[in-house]
Structure 1
Amino acid sequence: MAPYPLDRARTAFVASLDGLSGLLDHLDDDALHARSRCRGWVAGDVLAHLHLGLAEMLAGFPARTTQDADTDLATYWSAPLPGAEHPEWAHVRFARAVAAAYARPSGQLEHVRTTVRGLRRLVSDLDAGYRLEFQGHVLEVSDFVATWVVEVVVHHLDMAVELSGVPEPPASGLAVVRDTVVRLTDDPAALDAWDDRALTLAATGREPGLRPVLS
């Protein structure tokens, strides 16, 4: 399958980071204790998990390779990940421990903002495709960026479930989630009845109605 369009991935990722930055502006100590959509985590725990991932993403860009890609934005979600042999609760506890290490829940916000600013500049400047190694797989950089659009958008929704007046993820980011789900389903036409936001929640098992294909 052809690489995901770099322009589409780049635009959606930058917009998704801007949406996340808007959400961060609404998060204080109280909001970070709000319930999330992730079992066992409050919003601050989800943010710690997302930040760990974004830092790993930032470190992934220099790992260029001439090897052929073996994973794309869809198959990434079914490929084995490092640490998959450990029980899910182990990472749940780890993310909670990271969030709890700050003297105040809001202490992590500036660390997240620094990572977001670096990623935004880096991805905004991407003007040509290449392949990179990440988590034992080889991806086109456009597919790599698209997988992280999904991660940012989904966890944005996770953190905002109990918060009012906060920004929604951007339409371009939700559209990349749809593109991913379409590639993973056996019946793409059945997804036409779902709007992008509802599809994102159902395809990740956050809401009922579809077999989860993203996790």
Structure 2
Amino acid sequence: MTIALREARDAFETVAADLSAFLDARTDEDLLARSRCRGWVVADVLAHLHLGLSEMITGFAYRVDAPPDTDFLTYWSGYPEPDPDAAVGQIRFARLLASAYGRPTGLLDHFRPTLEAVRRFVAQADDGCVRFQGHVLPLGDFVATWVVEIVVHHLDVLVELPGPTPDLTLAVRTLDGLRGEGDRPADWDDVTYVLAGSGRIPGPKGYPLLG
């Protein structure tokens, strides 16, 4: 199963524009608000996501002719079991990184141009494969994984702050592919599904689905 580059590109532009609008409305006080991620305020989540987007840029530099060994579903299902000790280090690292700025909004001066650079890379990309984190992915699938990453972290920062829900279409499609279409509690809306699928709230056996 794979995602066409055009579909992934359109989805990425939608969620990136949503995130950009969210960032433009933020104050120092906003970035100190609680998030859904244990141990992190909003600024910490954004510091973590900024590192991820920077890493995404390096993916575009590693175009390869090798056949793909991973798609937008197996990328998530192939994650190793989380290491609690490593998780504590990652939590602390993001907090220390975000706190290094004189004001919380100083982080946004780095985040915004990185996000805009990634939007350009995605908009100008053509078909092919990239090597990323030891995998070879078709470019559409590579972009699709980052659509899901952005959506989940966008939901993370909406606990205490106002803002519209990001477009969940591709995140829901990913979860359906991992779990099976229709295999979710009937009373769950898409937000609940994505939050449970990403481990933000408890779910039934087999959840979370995203590494």
The answer to whether the superposition gives a TM-score over 0.5 is yes
Q: Secondary structure at the match of 1:13?
A: helix
Q: Secondary structure at the match of 1:157?
A: helix
Is residue 130 of structure 2 the alignment partner of residue 136 of structure 1?
A: no
Is residue 49 of structure 2 the alignment partner of residue 56 of structure 1?
A: no
Cα deviation, residue 61, structure 1 = 0.5
Cα deviation, residue 196, structure 1 = 2.3
Conserved in 2, the CA contact under 8 Å of 1:22 and 1:167? no
- Alignment match, 1:146: 144
Cα deviation, residue 25, structure 1 = 1.4
Conserved in 1, the CA contact under 8 Å of 2:198 and 2:210? yes
Cα deviation, residue 85, structure 1 = 9.4
Amino acid at match of 2:89: A
In 1, Cα distance between equivalents of 2:40 and 2:84: 21
Residue number among 180, 184, 209 corresponding to 2:178 in the alignment: 184
Is residue 197 of structure 2 the alignment partner of residue 199 of structure 1?
A: no
In 1, Cα distance between equivalents of 2:76 and 2:83: 12
- Alignment match, 1:26: 25
Q: Secondary structure at the match of 1:67?
A: coil
- Alignment match, 2:208: 212
Is residue 64 of structure 2 the alignment partner of residue 68 of structure 1?
A: no
In 2, Cα distance between equivalents of 1:68 and 1:205: 32
Conserved in 1, the CA contact under 8 Å of 2:77 and 2:178? no
Cα deviation, residue 188, structure 1 = 2.0
Residue number among 166, 189, 194 corresponding to 1:169 in the alignment: 166
Identity fraction in percent:
49
Conserved in 1, the CA contact under 8 Å of 2:72 and 2:174? yes
Deviations 1:30-66 (A, max 9, x none): 1111000000100000000000000000111020111
Cα deviation, residue 123, structure 1 = 1.0
In 1, Cα distance between equivalents of 2:9 and 2:191: 20
Cα deviation, residue 192, structure 1 = 7.8
In 2, Cα distance between equivalents of 1:196 and 1:10: 21
In 1, Cα distance between equivalents of 2:148 and 2:90: 19
Cα deviation, residue 80, structure 1 = 4.1
After the TM superposition, which parts of structure 1 deviate over 4 Å for at least 4 consecutive aligned residues? 83-86
In 1, Cα distance between equivalents of 2:152 and 2:84: 23
Deviations 1:103-161 (A, max 9, x none): 111101021100111111221222x3100100111101100000000010000010111
Deviations 1:51-93 (A, max 9, x none): 0000000111020111111111111113247x96962111111
Q: Secondary structure at the match of 2:28?
A: coil
In 2, Cα distance between equivalents of 1:191 and 1:13: 25
In 1, Cα distance between equivalents of 2:145 and 2:194: 13
Q: RMSD of the TM alignment (CA)?
A: 1.8
